[in-house]
């Protein structure tokens, strides 16, 4: 009888532990996560940004427990170091798309090599403006960081460009807003 009770307790404990862990959907599907993990860990960072009242571009970065720096500034730096390459291509494609949408109706936007250089400068400035929006420490001591570029920051980068007139800045900002809300 005693062995049966012990067996039932072991089985109940195993089932209870299994219920606390599941597989994340999406790009991180092979990663076991705890049930109380934030939605952005599972690749749903856009919904997380919207829940905070903003739109933007984002990526989830995993800092392995052995590589997590001890101070918050170093954590942010390490997360940004990993997040920048993930978002670089996305930011550049967004800028190219909004420029392409502005073929003739956006004020004085340069063409040819000056346009390519302007896209490069805006992309670089936006990548430099990325920030760590949120962090989460998993039970396995892995630290996750949400790296984001929100619409307000994108607007500031576009508005501060000396290569664009006021009409172009306004038009590009509106198109960026529209593109991010889709």
Task: Say if residue 25 is in the same domain as residue 54.
Answer: no
**Token pair for residue 20?**
């606390």
If asked whether residues 83 and 137 sit together in one domain, one would say yes
Cα atoms in the 13 Å half-sphere on the side-chain side of 22:
10
* 62 plus 126 within the same structural domain: yes
Let me know whether 26 and 42 are in one domain: no
Kindly state whether residues 82 and 21 are assigned to the same domain: no
Q: Both 64 and 21 in a single domain?
A: no
Q: What is the pLDDT of residue 16?
A: 35
Same domain? For 94 and 174 the reply is: yes
Q: What is the total count of domains within the chain?
A: 2
pLDDT reported for residue 67:
66
Question: Does 91 lie in the same domain as 53?
Answer: yes
d(CA 152, CA 159): 10
pLDDT per position as a tens digit, 48-62: 888 888 889 999 998
Q: How many CB atoms lie within 10 A of CB 145?
A: 24
Note the pLDDT of residue 84: 94
Print the domain residue range for 145.
38-181
Backbone angles phi, psi at 44, to 5 degrees: -105, 55
Q: Are residues 98 and 59 in the same domain?
A: yes
Question: In degrees, to the nearest 5, what angle opens at C-alpha 63 toward C-alphas 61 and 64?
Answer: 140
pLDDT digits (tens, 9 = 90+) for 123-170: 999 999 999 988 888 888 788 899 999 999 999 999 999 988 899 999
pLDDT value of position 104 = 66
Please, which pLDDT band fits residue 1 given cuts at 50, 70 and 90? very low
Mean pLDDT of the chain: 78
Task: Give the confidence band of 35 by pLDDT, cuts at 50, 70, 90.
Answer: low
* 80 confidence band (pLDDT: 50, 70, 90): very high
- pLDDT of residue 27 exceeding 50, the answer is no
pTM above 0.85, yes or no: no
- Are 98 and 11 part of one and the same domain? no
Q: What is the CATH number of the domain that holds 109?
A: 3.10.129
């Amino acid at each position: 009888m005693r062995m049966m009770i012990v067996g039932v307790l072991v089985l109940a404990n195993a089932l209870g532990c299994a219920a606390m862990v599941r597989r994340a959907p999406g790009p991180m599907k092979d990663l076991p996560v705890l049930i109380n993990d934030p939605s952005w860990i599972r690749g749903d960072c856009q919904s997380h940004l919207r829940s905070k009242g903003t739109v933007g571009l984002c990526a989830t970065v995993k800092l392995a427990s052995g590589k997590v720096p001890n101070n918050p500034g170093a954590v942010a730096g390490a997360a940004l170091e990993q997040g920048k390459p993930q978002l670089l291509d996305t930011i550049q494609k967004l800028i190219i798309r909004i420029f392409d949408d502005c073929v003739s109706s956006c004020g004085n936007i340069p063409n040819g090599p000056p346009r390519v250089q302007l896209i490069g400068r805006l992309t670089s400035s936006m990548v430099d403006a990325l920030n760590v929006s949120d962090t989460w420490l998993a039970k396995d001591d892995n630290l996750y960081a949400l790296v984001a570029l929100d619409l307000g920051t994108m607007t500031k980068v576009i508005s501060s460009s000396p290569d664009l007139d006021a009409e172009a800045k306004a038009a590009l900002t509106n198109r960026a807003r529209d593109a991010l809300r889709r």
